[in-house]
Amino acid sequence: MLDLLLTKVRLQNEARLMDVGVRKGRIAYIAPSGGESVPDALHREQGAGGMLLPGFVEPHIHLEKAYLLSRMEHEAASLQDAIQMTAEMKHGFTKEDMQARSLAVIREAVRSGVTHMRCQAEVDPILGLTAFEAALELKERVRDALDLQIVVFPQEGIFKSPGTAELMEEALRLGGDAVGGITYQDADLQAHLQLVFDMAEKHGKPLDFHADFSDNPDQLAIAEIADRTIAAGMQGLVSAGHVTSLGSLEHGRAMSVADRIKEADLHIMSLPATDLFINGRGERERPRRGLTPVGLLLEKGVNVVIGVNNVRNPFTPFGKADPLETAWLLAVTAHMGGDADARQLIQMLTEGAGRALGLRNYGLREGSEADMVLFSVPTERDILLDKPERRTVWKRGVKTAETQVASQVHGLL
Ligand SMILES: [Zn+2]
């Protein structure tokens, strides 16, 4: 006896309509619809030809500094300005305040179909461990809807903000899931890289960088990160967000850096909303888009994924925690308009991001955890273009969100 049977759904890379069954939180049955020996189920849901995807994986998001627009007196004029404005606001953050804004983001994400998330919790002398502890409590509180990973993130720099390294150590002891790094805050890049690689090795944790967030092709920490990853034998365990400087590098050299990224099996996280908003400034003629070079990296076989990053703060005064909105933005700005591109983008939001986060038991296959989102439209391209409000979401086989929309157009034939 199944707990749940979804009938007549469309799956990726499958032309036939399928039935998907769940037992004890896991996918226990996948077969073409209309078969003769369909198992009984306590609950049945009609898929009606809509596409069923594995739950979205949000690989890079900042929870505690989301929803700050009402506290800002002006817009950030640059990356350093955004960091400075946010650092000032952080003095007023309390745990309750951070948790309330974080939960608003998580609710939006769950409603959007997100079942796994990696957040960047800031650890520094301003906040101490309060942002980290707030995230750790939330991780437990939301566990029936979302698996939350926490990166111990030194946004203010490690050497620039003395005391940060000790706080990071403490956060990792308390349960941080990944060591964070940032290549554009400390003056001595090599010392920064050495410290975070050592910390990752000591604690047996993956590394997750904010790297090369500029249009300056001379900022190429990603090449150093690739070399160190290979030297440390950490292939597949290191991620880097932004990596936009690489998009300004001369093509031939960018190709060889991309080869090195592939060899190190780095997961590259494109954060298009923030990158488009912050980069390309100060160029009066032909301003750059300032994106991660997604096409080049995909061509080289690199695991490129997409993150929301910031929601309505100085870094990105836009957005919500819907991965489809971010994927759509990347589609438009990275020239990814075809049917194969849509399938690629959805793969990046699901299996690709799942691999970046080291998820096990993920994906729509028998034996995996039943983390799923059902749409009423039949293809990846429809999902990307429509960004449909109407979605149903399950976490380990239990329904966590359902959105229905009713609209009428009057007076037209
Ligand atoms: Zn970030």
Answer for the pair 330, 336: CB distance below 8 angstroms, yes or no.
yes
Q: How far is the CA of 22 from the centre of ligand 1 (A)?
A: 35
Q: How far is the CA of 395 from the centre of ligand 1 (A)?
A: 26
Chain center to CA of 353 = 7
Residue 6's pLDDT is: 98
Residue 284's pLDDT is: 87
Which structural domains are found in the chain, ordered by start?
Answer: 2-54+366-403 (2.30.40.10), 56-356 (3.20.20.140)
Q: Two tokens at 266?
A: 């780095």
Q: How far is the CA of 407 from the centre of ligand 1 (A)?
A: 36
Q: How far is the CA of 121 from the centre of ligand 1 (A)?
A: 10
Q: How far is the CA of 214 from the centre of ligand 1 (A)?
A: 13
Residue 412's pLDDT is: 81
Q: How far is the CA of 101 from the centre of ligand 1 (A)?
A: 16
What pLDDT, in 10s, does the model give residues 151-168?
A: 999 999 999 999 999 999
Residue 223's pLDDT is: 98
Q: How far is the CA of 272 from the centre of ligand 1 (A)?
A: 11
What is Dmax (Cα atoms) for the chain? 68
DSSP H helical segments within 185-271, as ranges? 189-203, 221-231, 251-263
Q: How far is the CA of 226 from the centre of ligand 1 (A)?
A: 19
Q: How far is the CA of 195 from the centre of ligand 1 (A)?
A: 20
Q: How far is the CA of 262 from the centre of ligand 1 (A)?
A: 22
Residue 246's pLDDT is: 98
Answer for the pair 148, 119: CB distance below 8 angstroms, yes or no.
yes
Chain center to CA of 36 = 41
Q: Which of 220, 200, 312, 307 is nearest to 260 (CA)?
A: 220
Q: How far is CA 132 from CA 93, 128, 142, 265, in A?
A: 12, 8, 15, 28
Q: How far is the CA of 282 from the centre of ligand 1 (A)?
A: 22
Answer for the pair 179, 209: CB distance below 8 angstroms, yes or no.
no
Q: How far is the CA of 44 from the centre of ligand 1 (A)?
A: 40
Q: Which residues of the chain have pLDDT under 50?
A: none
Instruction: Enumerate residues 6+ apart whose C-beta is below 8 A from 379.
Output: 10, 51, 339, 342
Q: How far is the CA of 59 from the centre of ligand 1 (A)?
A: 10
